[in-house]
Structure 1
Amino acid sequence: MPLLHHLGRTLPLVAAPMAGGPSTPDLVLATARAGGLGFLAAGYRTPDDLAAQLAAVRPAGLPFGVNLFAPNPVPVPEDAYRAYAELLRPEARRHGVSLTPSPVNEDDDHWAAKIELLRADPVPVVSFTFGLPEPGVVAALRAAGSTVLQTVTSPAEARAAAEVGVEGLVVQATAAGGHSATLTPGRPLAGTPLPDLLAAVRRATPLPLIATGGLATPADVATALRAGAEAAAVGTVLLRTDESGASAPHRAALADPAFTGTVLTRAFTGRPARALRNRFTERYGQAAPLGYPALHHLTAPLRRAAAGAGDTDLIHLWAGTGHRQARAEPIAHTLTRLAADL
């Protein structure tokens, strides 16, 4: 596992970056102490917030990564955006929040400032998702000493990532929880099983691969490595661990038999993401337009209020297809178990 071996990692396991709270510094450090590689999730954080998390992790002297949302906006037609806002307004009133459909927020998640922070204060690994960084950005980060990775969902994306100069690929199947990393969110996701996707990407590029998407058991991890991955990245299966920053309602829902499955939806953020099926996904999944990050900002106040009230009918309960395997235990126990068949 050259990608991880040069960092002194003894387990071919990565704690996938989970934006919005789950990927805490404690989770990153506990993963590193167990022999894996953890990632801080820079998405949705201000540069100051990211700097604070870096300061919390660095003193341990353990390797870690940072994941960034690379700009790849999906503009939303204003009439569709306003119609969706009106559709959601009764839900917002029930939770005492105000939706502000104007102006439409199409921000870039502080892209330039975060890149400058990581150039000035380098980290061992930087990964990108949602979009491709410019070749100059990749070159600058590599020159600063960072290993640069790109998350891809198809052979075509893998070839494009190789062309901008990244050193490795995180290959994501549609079974993954949370947002799809697809570079073309307006197109239907292929649904290729992870082993087949790894084989197809391997034919497209010789870059080293990390597998992710629905990996929740020792057999899943072993299969991914046999299919050509050097390591496996897991996310959903870590959400209930002691070090996770996932909310109490999210943790509980993952183990609640009332939630019978997952669904790909753009209802929460305007970008395809896999979540536990709930009333929000059922009622608004078909009505939601494509439009990221505009819909993310539109629904954020409602989702925060619902989380505070423990209303799992309205929360974005990100979860991969293996969510039933998530356990309430130290992350080291989870990672050790996942490596049992290697």
Structure 2
Amino acid sequence: YWQGTQYTNGPYPPGHSGGLSPQLGLVGGPSGGEGEFGAPTRGSLAISLEPTGSSVYAAPLGAEPIDPGTTQTGESALNLEWNGTGANWTLGTRSGSTQQGVLAFAVFQGGNPAAGPSFAVNFQSTGLPSGQGWSVQLARGLGTSNGSLIQFLEPNGSYAFNVRPLAGFRASPSAGVVTVNGSSVTIRIAWSRVTYPVSFQESGLPSGTPWNVTVVGGGSAEGSSSLLTVAVPNGTFNFTFVPLRQGYVGGNGVVTVNGTGLQRTVAFVRVEYSVTFRSLNLTPGVRWSVTLGSELQSTTNASLNFSEPNGTY
């Protein structure tokens, strides 16, 4: 039934012989040209139908998109096979992403009238950078989005879902089963970056001296062990290492992570200061000496220089 009229071989022309099932279409461009959704168009379009008296849009099982700009010359059509319904239907569109210039059409599966009303199955994501695309496979349907929401319409039942892998990120949960039972359902997908252990082995500090290492964009670690480890995602990052007590100087460097952990050695340098002894009233050329701590120096000059760290000698 379309607009109150029953069709058997297609809505145009009525009663035309052939293998066509009833068809509906959305025009996406000028007649004879390729359908194109450019800026400022936003959204991934899906053809859906709303039964009279219902507030839920649905599409039938088995609906498949036809590539725009080839056989349809500016139209994207769905072969909609509605059987056994006496209702009128209206044509609508739903937004599935925030990507601009979309040429593909996402199909919402599971709206077979014989299965009863359909309800929204929402996948809500957190943790991805703004504009990062992601996808979910639900039963036989695939949804994609560059935003935080992917929505399907399904009748009551249980459906397996799978979050498509995304390079550099890990989804939780990444798969499962969602049950629709008379109302909408929301599954929250938390994304986290995949990280790898980067270990920093220090040298130059006295045993037990606390120190810190910071990877810019990858976290930090602090402790008195000679080995500290930071979880770092793929990429190239600057890092700094500093002592947490006076008398030593740290430094900086660059580390590149590419799908595996690694270890870097960092060297601290002890800070030393000049200690000068000057002689008075000695005959020129007479040798004299000074012992500072355990170090002995002698000279015939007027001064002696030592280099020592902080301390009492």
TM-score (norm: length of structure 2): 0.21
TM-score (norm: length of structure 1): 0.20
Please identify which structure carries the higher helix content. Answer: 1
- Pick the structure with greater CA Rg: 2
